[in-house]
Amino acid sequence: MGEYAKNFYRNFKNKPENEAKEYAYQQGKKFGRALKEKMNIHGTDIEALAEVLRAVLKYEPTVRVEIHDGEIHLINEGFCPVMETALAFNLPWGRMCRIMGWPFFTGLAQAVNSNIEFIAPEQLKWRLKGDLYCFHIFALKKV
């Protein structure tokens, strides 16, 4: 993740944020589709997304992926790859979450179901704000 994030920032730091977000989103979508195929996941429901997220985050010991009332709660009390990279390479942590991490997760989720919305830690609990953990929610959009 370190080199990827460093190169991502180098390539997008002077470009419009929307361009960086779109690139990260498409990378997440591509990765999500490949993972679904590799893992033989055919569903489009919350359980299918939880399975994809657990596979992506299986080497993150402090991450929990839980299903509550039809939503996925992704909770990380430790150092996530974006946070680690930002701190190690002196990159702007908040910006890296906004332009790389969160759009990637949105793309990953929407590879499973295009009607899944991602609610970012910025609106909930975020370690950058001084909270003890980052809290992400994935939910089916209300129609």
Can you tell me whether residue 13 is helix, strand or coil?
Answer: coil
Q: Which helix (H) or strand (E) holds 27?
A: helix 17-39
What pLDDT, on the 0 to 100 scale, is given for residue 9? 86
Rounded Cα–Cα distance for residues 139 and 109 (Å): 9
Rounded Cα–Cα distance for residues 14 and 84 (Å): 22
Q: DSSP letter string over 77-140?
A: -S--HHHHHHHHTT--HHHHIIIIIHHHHHHHHHHH-TTEEEE-GGGS--GGGT-SSEEEEEEE
Select from 55, 56, 73 the least CA-distant residue to 64.
Answer: 73
Can you tell me whether residue 63 is helix, strand or coil?
Answer: strand
Per-residue pLDDT of 40-92, as tens digits, reads 999 999 999 999 999 999 998 999 999 999 999 999 998 888 888 888 888 89
What pLDDT, on the 0 to 100 scale, is given for residue 5? 81
What pLDDT, on the 0 to 100 scale, is given for residue 124? 95
What pLDDT, on the 0 to 100 scale, is given for residue 81? 84
CATH class belonging to 2-140: alpha beta
Q: Binning pLDDT at 50, 70 and 90, where does residue 118 land?
A: very high
State the distance between the two ends of the chain, measured CA to CA, in whole angstroms. Answer: 36
Q: Binning pLDDT at 50, 70 and 90, where does residue 7 land?
A: confident
Per-residue pLDDT of 122-142, as tens digits, reads 999 999 999 999 999 999 988
Residue spans per domain, the chain: 2-140
What is the C-alpha R_g of the chain?
Answer: 15
Q: Binning pLDDT at 50, 70 and 90, where does residue 1 land?
A: low
